[in-house]
Amino acid sequence: MTEQRTQESPGDGVSTINYALAINHAMAEEMRRDSRVWILGQDVGRMGGVFGVTRGLLDEFGPLRVRDTAINETFIVGAAAGAAMTGTIPIAELQFADFMLIAGDEIFGKLAKWRYMHGGKLSLPAVVRVPTGLLGGVGAEHSQSLEVLGMHFPGVKVALPSTPADAKGLLKSAIRDPNPVLFFEHKGLYRVKGEVPDDPEFLVPFGVAAVRRRGDALTVIATGMMVDRTLAAADVLAREGHEVEVIDPRTLVPLDMETILESVQRTGRAMIVHEAVRTAGAGAEIASRIHEELFFALDAPVWRLGAIDTPIPQDPELEQLCIPQVPGIVEAMRGLIAL
Amino acid sequence: MASSAPRKRAATVITEVDATRATDLYRTVARIRAAELVLQRHITEHGFGGFWHPGLGQEGVQAGAVAALRTDDYMFIAHRGLGYALAKGMSLESLFGDLFARTVGSTGGKGGGTVHFVDPERGVLGQGGAIGSSFVLGAGAAISGQMLGTDRVCAIFFGDGASSRGTWHESALQASVWKLPIVWICENNGWAVSARISEQSPTENIADRASAYGVPGVIVDGQDAIAVFDAVTEAVDRARAGHGPTLIEAKTMRIRGHYEGDRQKYRDDLLVGDEIPRDPLGILREHVPASVADQLDDDARHEAESVLASVLEAPRADPSIIYKDVWS
Ligand SMILES: Cc1ncc(C[n+]2csc(CCOP(=O)(O)OP(=O)(O)O)c2C)c(N)n1
Ligand SMILES: [Mg+2]
């Protein structure tokens, strides 16, 4: 992690680019490095992806390595699994994370289990890229945060980058990982800019959380789009004299519980903030583990903030009411510290 | 001696190659048959920790089709017996080992019950418990074969029931558009558990669907291993030459229950006794001298019995195996 921070510090060899382009660079670099890496998905070639993430890749790598598919999510992920077990490294793009359920058996029954079922004789180094979360008016079937599914099906790794640098470094690690990875890209972050190392060997390891802010009053574990909102809320608390520690796990599988537990041990208070539905979300698992490990070190129960138990409404203003907002996070932080 | 075997189909003199082919196919079918019978007897007498889906009577499809493949061609098997994997060169010990969860199994003792035979060196890439998984997986293997610059073909075995899955439709369209090197081999045995083919398909033949996908659809007598071999060879050549996939429908029949022990109360076409109508062995015997065939039968029986006995003596894996191979 120390090494990671030095790599992230700005200086020579750093570009300020957006999250979408960081992901694009990760793929382009890995495809240049390894001719076995290829892409498939709807509109990924000629159009460059519905969110523009694969722009330019068809021109550079040609139609055999950047394949436009029909509308066939089951095929996209299933073919990725079959290709992965036979020596190539597919990156499958689904247009929305929600469509993981259309390829449910291919992700959770095939990618996650094939190696185990077949006695370890096959490896499945595939990446499934899924645009996740609210975008503003895309509705109940295109807005969900389903990352917890990856935690519930042993055999797939789960990444959930919240910054352009993490998006690039985690995706490069995912492509090099011999295991299948579900890569959740937040649709609301695609146009957010940040400093990203140019070094083609820049990698962000899985299972290493990033401490986004140091503090001693409370530990908040936040993921994806909620990281920035939590940091904004922590700034408000700082003006009130409370320093909040903010941890971004970056990957949920594997999950860096060590960093989380070390922090909560110090602060005595913990809260999880995610965009996914609160009930049975990743936060429920993280809260349970904290309770199990640190019951006697806690000054208060672990709290969770997440989406309410409804589908996401179509209207862009209404949809925001379903997920945590900065004022709500501030209020929860104050409440938990006062307990 | 094989060259003196009579040949029914044509008036021409049998060639050396045909005779060798017929003998080889006979040997494979006999080995599968012997394994089937020895398992059937064992399960009847001792039970079984899982579900064995017998392929009795379907050996001709499995042996004939696999004989048309190269050792390095990819193959996704179906759940109906062990013929595919045995024909591809996996040892009977490794297959029985999987069925009885012994360390000698191809999955090192993780198998057990229903089949997940695997052998990457021989292109055997396993089988999905969710029927119809293999269409999409097989397409991916075919893409790898192309991208790695090989001329490997991928054979995908499936039942008539599996042909109803959406995975079939998605794969048939995309594989045809991309001209992937695939041969789909449907073992139409008339039943999907208790559902008759006529209740699942509006057309009599699964192969009738091929034209909608822009691929050749071939119907072949699945009891005739040589006919299956010829049909699959043509499809493999076509795939290898870059002309795309072929759908082959082999008409066969399910002799036993869906699983061994299924009482089949739903069935009105029950066959009695051990009689297999249009037995693939009988059909092959027209091309193989009786003395040779008899010897191959004996060898196969002996192999199946001795391998089963030794596998049952082999150790089970250490229980810690349950934690192994989740991750690479
Ligand atoms: C997706 C799925 N649905 C149902 C089942 C249960 N099942 C196992 S085999 C089978 C019938 C398959 O029929 P067919 O493809 O014709 O193969 P056969 O058993 O006749 O060889 C069914 C319904 C399953 N394994 N997977
Ligand atoms: Mg059937």
Distance spanning both ends of chain A, measured CA to CA: 33
| B chain contacts of residue A105, beta-carbon cutoff 8 Å | 130, 133
List the domains of chain A with CATH numbers: 15-197 (3.40.50.970), 210-338 (3.40.50.920)
Residue B289 vs residue B114, higher pLDDT: B289
Q: Is pLDDT of B32 > 70?
A: yes
- pLDDT at residue number B270: 74
- What the block records as the tokens of A75 is 């095929």
> Which stretches of B150-301 are assigned E, i.e. beta strand?
154-159, 182-188, 191-192, 195-196, 217-221, 246-251
Q: What confidence tens digit (pLDDT) does each residue in A86-125 have? A: 999 999 999 999 999 999 999 999 999 999 999 999 999 9
Q: What confidence tens digit (pLDDT) does each residue in A244-289 have? A: 999 999 999 999 999 999 999 999 999 999 999 999 999 999 999 9
The residue assigned the tokens 């003395």 is B291
- CA-wise closest residue to A168 among A13, A272, A334, A326: A13
- CA-wise closest residue to A84 among B321, B148, B88: B148
Lowest mean pLDDT among A236-240, B274-278, B285-289: B274-278
| A chain contacts of residue B125, beta-carbon cutoff 8 Å | 82, 85-86, 122
Q: What confidence tens digit (pLDDT) does each residue in B19-29 have? A: 899 999 999 99
Distance spanning both ends of chain B, measured CA to CA: 52
Flag if A79 and B74 touch (Cβ within 8 Å). no
Identity of the residue in B147, B166, B173 whose CB atom sits nearest the CB atom of A88:
B147
- Beta bridge partners, B102, equal B316
Angstrom distance (rounded) from CA B49 to CA B43: 9
Angstrom distance (rounded) from CA B312 to CA A91: 43
The answer to whether the beta carbons of residues B236 and B68 sit under 8 Å apart is yes
DSSP line for B179-215: T--EEEEEEE-SEETTEEHHHH-SSS-GGGGHHHHTS
- pLDDT at residue number A11: 60
Q: Is pLDDT of B243 > 90?
A: yes
Q: Is pLDDT of B282 > 70?
A: yes
CA torsion sign for A59, A65, A67, A73 is: negative
pLDDT band at B275 (very low <50, low <70, confident <90, very high): confident
The residue-averaged pLDDT of A34-49 equals: 98
The DSSP symbol for B287 reads: T
Q: Name the phi and psi angles at A10, rounded to 5.
A: -65, 160
- CA-wise closest residue to A131 among A57, A44, A64, A215: A44
Q: Is pLDDT of B13 > 60?
A: no
- CA-wise closest residue to A273 among A333, A213, A195: A333
3-state DSSP helix/strand/coil percent for chain B, to nearest 5? 45, 10, 45
- For residue B321, what is the nearest residue in chain A, using CA coordinates? A119
CA angle A26, A32, A33 (to 5 degrees): 90
Host H or E run for residue A221: strand A218-222
Angstrom distance (rounded) from CA A109 to CA A113: 6
CA angle B221, B226, B231 (to 5 degrees): 65
The residue assigned the tokens 């094989």 is B2
Task: Report helix angle A73-84 to B134-147, nearest 10.
Answer: 60
- pLDDT at residue number A10: 53
Q: Is pLDDT of A132 > 60?
A: yes
Percent of chain A with pLDDT over 70: 97
Angstrom distance (rounded) from CA A306 to CA B236: 54
Identity of the residue in A74, A86, A114 whose CB atom sits nearest the CB atom of B166:
A74
Angstrom distance (rounded) from CA A54 to CA B143: 20
Q: What confidence tens digit (pLDDT) does each residue in A149-186 have? A: 999 999 999 999 999 999 999 999 999 999 999 999 99
| A chain contacts of residue B144, beta-carbon cutoff 8 Å | 82-83, 86-88
Angstrom distance (rounded) from CA A306 to CA A308: 7
- Beta bridge partners, A127, equal A91, A181
CA angle B97, B111, B115 (to 5 degrees): 90
Angstrom distance (rounded) from CA A109 to CA A33: 30
- CA-wise closest residue to A95 among A41, A58, A22, A45: A41
pLDDT band at A12 (very low <50, low <70, confident <90, very high): confident
CA distances from B197 to B77, B78, B80, B202, B227 (A): 21, 18, 16, 9, 23
Residue B5 vs residue A211, higher pLDDT: A211
Flag if A78 and B106 touch (Cβ within 8 Å). no
The residue-averaged pLDDT of A174-202 equals: 98
- CA-wise closest residue to A114 among B226, B116, B217: B116
- What the block records as the tokens of A185 is 């890209």
- pLDDT at residue number B273: 61
- What the block records as the tokens of B199 is 């209740």
- What the block records as the tokens of A163 is 């910054």
CA distances from A48 to A44, A51, A59, A80, A153 (A): 5, 8, 10, 19, 31
pLDDT band at A1 (very low <50, low <70, confident <90, very high): very low
Atom number in ligand 1 closest to CA B133: 1
Marked catalytic residue, from A142, A242, A274, A291: A142
Residue A101 vs residue B1, higher pLDDT: A101
Q: What confidence tens digit (pLDDT) does each residue in B37-58 have? A: 999 999 999 988 888 999 999 9
Q: What confidence tens digit (pLDDT) does each residue in A133-158 have? A: 999 999 999 999 999 999 999 999 99
- Beta bridge partners, A193, equal A18
pLDDT band at B272 (very low <50, low <70, confident <90, very high): low
- pLDDT at residue number B48: 85
Identity of the residue in A72, A105, A114 whose CB atom sits nearest the CB atom of B126:
A114
Would residue A186 show up in a list of annotated catalytic residues for this protein? no
Atom number in ligand 1 closest to CA B162: 15
Residues with CB under 5 A from ligand 2 (ion): B 159-161, 189, 191-192
CA distances from A256 to A66, A128, A132, A248, B303 (A): 34, 22, 22, 10, 53
Chain B positions contacting chain A at CB under 8 Å are 74, 105-111, 116, 118-120, 125-126, 128-130, 133, 135-148, 166-167, 170-171, 173-174, 177-178, 324-328
Atom number in ligand 1 closest to CA B160: 16
Angstrom distance (rounded) from CA B134 to CA B184: 10
- pLDDT at residue number B5: 36
